[in-house]
Amino acid sequence: MTEPMHEVYAIKFGENPGGTRGEYFHGCAADPRDQSMQLDYYVWLVRTAEADIVVDAGFTAAMAQRRKRTHFRAPSEALALLGVDCAAVSQVVLSHFHYDHVGDLDAFPNAKFIVQSSEMAFWTGRFASRLEFHRLIEAEDIVRLVELGLAGRLEYVDGERELAPGVRVHLVGGHTPGMQIVSIATARGTVVLAADSSHFYGNVCGDAPFAVHTDLPGTYHAFDVMHGLASSPDLIVPGHDPEVLTRFEPVPGTEGTAVRIA
Ligand SMILES: [Zn+2]
């Protein structure tokens, strides 16, 4: 039996136009260091015949102000442009716990959040307070995740899990210890939502790691896993690349915000 064909969308809710290549790329690939690069913020939607599965929860306007990011709308409002009723969503995948992926959790009051056990262990463990890790998260988000866990609303995964027929999460590590990606069976083939396993096309397609990681070999391992899963390299969707919005068809009426990947 063939797997069902699902729809996949990328939806932009914010941006950081002021970054440089030197900030974003590790090692040799960081040159020229002062080349300006825009970084976009997205959430993703997997639409199956039965349900909408959301990937990542973005961040709020208040957090955007605190971190000096451009914020166009709440992730939940961005999803609503595609007809998603966030109160009805039952599954939200959290790729990892950096502030720009877990900031708007309460917009999904009836969801279970799919997380890797190793991600929770790391951010509640001994090294999370160290500057180079702590600067990338918000304590209030981690506290909220602990509360959600105690309320039975975290679905812990250790490795791989099928969320619906043809929709799977895969632990890859590298960027964070519990970094996970999502593979989806679609009419175009298998799409991979990389999130921060590849911020830009230049990471996974150029074999050039992003500047931030907890495990550099793990970052390369993630590239290998994504290439192995995706039906073609152009079906790997980077987590922060502005080019996603130009490579795929805009959803009518949402130009500059939402594209249909498949
Ligand atoms: Zn990240």
Domain borders along the chain are: 7-260
Q: How far apart are the CA of 2 and the centre of ligand 1, in A?
A: 34
Strand pairing of 91-93 and 52-55? parallel
The conformation of residue 147, written as its DSSP 8-state character, comes to H
Q: Which pLDDT does position 21 carry in this prediction?
A: 97
Q: What is the CATH number of domain 7-260?
A: 3.60.15.10
Residue 28 predicted with pLDDT over 60 = yes
How confident is the model over 148-187, as pLDDT tens digits?
999 999 999 999 999 999 999 999 999 999 999 999 999 9
Q: Which pLDDT does position 112 carry in this prediction?
A: 98
Q: How far apart are the CA of 49 and the centre of ligand 1, in A?
A: 30
Residue 216 predicted with pLDDT over 80 = yes
pTM exceeding the 0.75 threshold for the entire prediction = yes
Mean of the per-residue pLDDT values for the chain? Answer: 97
Q: How far apart are the CA of 73 and the centre of ligand 1, in A?
A: 20
Residue 37 predicted with pLDDT over 80 = yes
For residue 17, name the pLDDT band (cuts at 50, 70, 90). Answer: confident
Distance of CA 2 to the CA centre of its chain: 27
Q: How far apart are the CA of 136 and the centre of ligand 1, in A?
A: 7
Residue 2 predicted with pLDDT over 80 = no
Q: How far apart are the CA of 86 and the centre of ligand 1, in A?
A: 23
Q: How far apart are the CA of 198 and the centre of ligand 1, in A?
A: 10
Distance of CA 47 to the CA centre of its chain: 16
Q: How far apart are the CA of 205 and the centre of ligand 1, in A?
A: 18
Q: How far apart are the CA of 206 and the centre of ligand 1, in A?
A: 19
Q: How far apart are the CA of 191 and the centre of ligand 1, in A?
A: 20
Instruction: State the average pLDDT over residues 202-226.
Output: 97
Q: How far apart are the CA of 98 and the centre of ligand 1, in A?
A: 5
Q: How far apart are the CA of 196 and the centre of ligand 1, in A?
A: 5
Q: How far apart are the CA of 226 and the centre of ligand 1, in A?
A: 17
Q: How far apart are the CA of 76 and the centre of ligand 1, in A?
A: 20
Calpha distance 216→174 (Å, rounded)? 6
- Element spanning 250, H or E: strand 249-250
Residue 1 predicted with pLDDT over 70 = no
For residue 16, name the pLDDT band (cuts at 50, 70, 90). Answer: very high
Instruction: State the average pLDDT over residues 99-123.
Output: 98
Q: How far apart are the CA of 42 and the centre of ligand 1, in A?
A: 12
Q: Which pLDDT does position 89 carry in this prediction?
A: 98
Which one-letter amino acid corresponds to residue 153? R
How confident is the model over 127-150, as pLDDT tens digits?
999 999 999 999 999 999 999 999
Residue 11 predicted with pLDDT over 90 = yes
Residue 3 predicted with pLDDT over 80 = no
Instruction: State the average pLDDT over residues 228-252.
Output: 98
Collapsing DSSP to helix, strand or coil, 99 comes out as coil
Question: For the chain, what percent of residues have pLDDT higher than 70?
Answer: 99
158-163: list long-range contacts, CB under 8 Å, 24+ apart.
Answer: 158/116, 158/117, 158/118, 159/116, 161/114, 163/53, 163/91, 163/93, 163/114
For residue 254, the tally of other CB atoms under 10 A from its CB is 16
Neighbours of ion ligand 1 (CB under 5 A): 98, 196
How confident is the model over 60-80, as pLDDT tens digits?
999 999 999 999 999 999 999
